[in-house]
Structure 1
Amino acid sequence: MFELTPQQSDLRDAVAALGRRYGHEYFVAKAKSGGHTTELWSEAGKLGYLGVNVPEEYGGGGGGITELAIVCEELAAAGCPLLLLVVSPAIAATVVAKHGTPDQRSAYLPGFADGSLKVAFAITEPEAGSNAHRLATTARRDGDDWLISGRKCFISGVDEAAYVLVVARVSAGDRLQPALFLVPVDAPGLTSSKLDMEIVSPENQWLLYLDDVRVPAGALIGGVEAGLPALFSGLNPERITVAAMAAGTARYALSRASSYTATRQVWGRPIGAHQGVAHPLAHAAVQVELARLMIAKAAALYDAGRDVEAGVAANMAKYAAADAAALAVDTAIQVHGGNGMTTEYGVATLLGAVRAGRIAPVSREMILNFVAQHVLAQPKSY
């Protein structure tokens, strides 16, 4: 947990080198032009970095969430935090690999492995908020097919994806339970509307409307009874890789800031010589390293199949990394002075994303609720 294997270390170095060849200027230029990081994604896929957690028999690297977290963190540390790494390889590929039928795994996993397939993930709804038990999107049988109806919001990367992994509620006897469906983005009855966001990112957010969207029986991943286990098999990797991306973003911000403060001369010496400048950066660096330890622990537990412990650690890792990233970016902006608010210096462009990281994919308040209830044995408060 405290030391990478030689293979993991090589992966980290190789991904970091790839990220540096593109860099934050590339990322920002794509975001501000309305483009996508297609070139970076394609190259990462060809090099095998997007499929590190896909089983080898389907063309992947045969690793786990530990390896995918390394990819997420190192690209972010180079100034290229790719949210679709969380959505497609971490959530969707994991769900298909763990719960898909043999035909589903053969059909989809090779595309995940080489990056040619992108799948969005749709769970969040306008009225449900953090209460997943109130999901209103439903799926009902119509012969051998399913008809899906409902609304989803804050769905990442729909315009880049071939499918959306939709969480809907299905009837199971006298109750409704979640089920996961792979829905083509061009399916009749599925429409989308872009959400305008104050975040500098080439990956867009969308509202989805599903009006009796018809999908075949083979679109249901893992069957009706596998719905809840399948869902949670993707949510813990989501939290871990979001945390890794946040930690990488924090490292990028601190790297930019420390380079600036070590060379910026005011009153005859670098501003980093002043404790009022250096100490906040050092404090942020400590918080980032602590978060990275929890990320490594959560990933190791998940890859070992210790799901209950991994759930606790994944939530803690996400909480710690989101706070550390927000602190690091805010501190980096502050030590740059007015330069911190310019595009040129490359730190203010991270502000919206790290602030959103304290809200999504699960808010810090809901994580505190989880820890209070499941770790500290407190009564449920909601």
Structure 2
Amino acid sequence: MTTLLESDEHKSLRAAVSAFARSHPRATGPAESRHFWQEAGKLGYIGVSLPEAYGGGGGGVTELSLVLEEMGAAGNPLLMMIVSPAICGTVIARFGTDEQKRTWLPGIADGTRLMAFGITEPDAGSNSHRITTTARRDAATGDWLLTGRKVFISGVDIADATLIVGRTEDARTGRLKPCLFIVPRDTPGFERRQLDMELHATEKQFELTLDDVRLPADALVGDEDAGLLQLFAGLNPERIMTAAFGIGIGRYALSRALDYARERTVWKTPIGAHQAIAHPLAQAHIDLELSRLMTQKAAHLYDAGDDMGAGEAANMAKYAAGEACVKAVDQAVHTLGGNGLTREFGLATLITAARVARIAPVSREMILNYVSHQTLGLPKSY
């Protein structure tokens, strides 16, 4: 499935990833998911967006989102691709020191190292300005000390480190400024607790506690005074990649429903001949295609360096893809009837997975707020 926006190279990449992903059985457990991740890393798919100088493919979010979409369409979406190469890899590539790049990017690119991302907090929710995880300098040593809590952080148990969003206090104004810190998994004072989720996913969710976690001065990524610029360098790719994640899941669900609708015969013809079955599936396909076009636009804008335009498009793409994904999965399950809830067809677990594309990393309501304020110029309600 390609579009007019794609170059021949992109079409070839899409075909190669699709063939690779379809040659592997669906990953239903951590071991299978890890094996798939490692194989994808060896082929260069995980690091396709990272700089060639550090083992990456030299592409951008355009290529990385294409890879994730095709993996999802084959039934093997990798949630950590949104986190490790797209958020953490992008931030380090753009703002990290030479040493941070040498230490982390080659491993992230070939899949041998993973990095998680910690921003969400129990009491902040969608309001990132309320983040209370604070970082202060130890005047005697120059080290950083981090204290705070994070929640709904994916893959911390399999990640070598977590990129933590903390806040430092501006000595002149007293205002808190967001900063990014690399926290290795086994750092003293850095504790994790697995959350009891009903979501069926190979990546686990965690609550993190940082109790005066001591980090060397070079754990800080980028400029202490850069603030939101560095943060959104990772958040816009996160939205684009979440859109690709949702589109891939939606395409997979739709393909299972189409196979079933072509073959399942109850009366004289396959059920797919009936408009009550065919039209909702056609609508699901249209919604997925439209959301994909918006996702491609967002990725192209981001890769072109248009951060402002990419922010708007990334939010729109994530909104559209989340809605399209949920509708496609729901219609696929409905098409199969009772069979849609059996383990054999593998659609029931996608019901909760599809909701992730609506909820995370930003809710559809907050996206509507963004568009109404930033795009339409309407006044804020908060």
Q: Structures share a fold, TM > 0.5?
A: yes
Q: Partner residue of 2:228?
A: 228
What is the CA–CA distance in structure 2 between the aligned matches of 1:115 and 1:137, rounded to whole Å?
29
What is the CA–CA distance in structure 2 between the aligned matches of 1:4 and 1:131, rounded to whole Å?
36
What is the CA–CA distance in structure 1 between the aligned matches of 2:25 and 2:375, rounded to whole Å?
40
Percentage identity across paired residues of the two chains: 57
Q: Contact conserved, 1:180 with 1:227, CA < 8 A, in 2?
A: no
Gaps of 5+ in 2: none
Runs of 4 or more consecutive aligned structure 1 residues displaced over 6 Å after TM superposition: none
Q: Is 2:167 aligned against 1:165?
A: no
Going from structure 1 to structure 2, the CA distance change for 1:214 and 1:36 (only over 3 Å counts) comes to farther
1:8 CA displacement: 1.4
Q: Is 2:97 aligned against 1:95?
A: no
Q: Contact conserved, 1:262 with 1:271, CA < 8 A, in 2?
A: yes
Gaps of 5+ in 1: none
Could you state the TM-score of these two structures normalised by the residue count of structure 1? 0.97
1:117 CA displacement: 1.3
Q: Partner residue of 1:44?
A: 40
Q: Contact conserved, 1:66 with 1:296, CA < 8 A, in 2?
A: yes
1:9 CA displacement: 1.4
Q: Partner residue of 1:279?
A: 279
1:205 CA displacement: 0.4
Q: Partner residue of 1:348?
A: 348
How many residues are paired up?
376
1:2 CA displacement: 3.0
What is the CA–CA distance in structure 2 between the aligned matches of 1:372 and 1:232, rounded to whole Å?
19
Paired residue secondary structure (2:221):
coil
Q: Deviations over 1:155-198 (max 9, x none)?
A: 00001100000000111222110000000011000110101111
Q: Contact conserved, 1:166 with 1:180, CA < 8 A, in 2?
A: yes
What is the CA–CA distance in structure 1 between the aligned matches of 2:234 and 2:74, rounded to whole Å?
26
Q: Is 2:69 aligned against 1:73?
A: yes
Q: Partner residue of 2:266?
A: 266
Paired residue secondary structure (1:128):
coil
Paired residue secondary structure (2:358):
coil
Q: Partner residue of 2:336?
A: 336
Q: Deviations over 1:33-90 (max 9, x none)?
A: x646111000100000001111111111000000000111010001011110000000
Q: Contact conserved, 2:326 with 2:351, CA < 8 A, in 1?
A: yes
Q: Contact conserved, 2:165 with 2:180, CA < 8 A, in 1?
A: yes
What is the CA–CA distance in structure 2 between the aligned matches of 1:111 and 1:226, rounded to whole Å?
26
Q: Partner residue of 2:372?
A: 372
What is the CA–CA distance in structure 2 between the aligned matches of 1:3 and 1:131, rounded to whole Å?
35
What is the CA–CA distance in structure 1 between the aligned matches of 2:164 and 2:24, rounded to whole Å?
32
Paired residue secondary structure (1:117):
coil
Q: Partner residue of 1:322?
A: 322
What is the CA–CA distance in structure 1 between the aligned matches of 2:269 and 2:180, rounded to whole Å?
59
Q: Partner residue of 2:200?
A: 200
Q: Partner residue of 1:155?
A: 153
Q: Is 2:59 aligned against 1:63?
A: yes
249-258 vs 6-15, greater mean Cα deviation: 6-15
Q: Which amino acid aligns with 1:168?
A: G
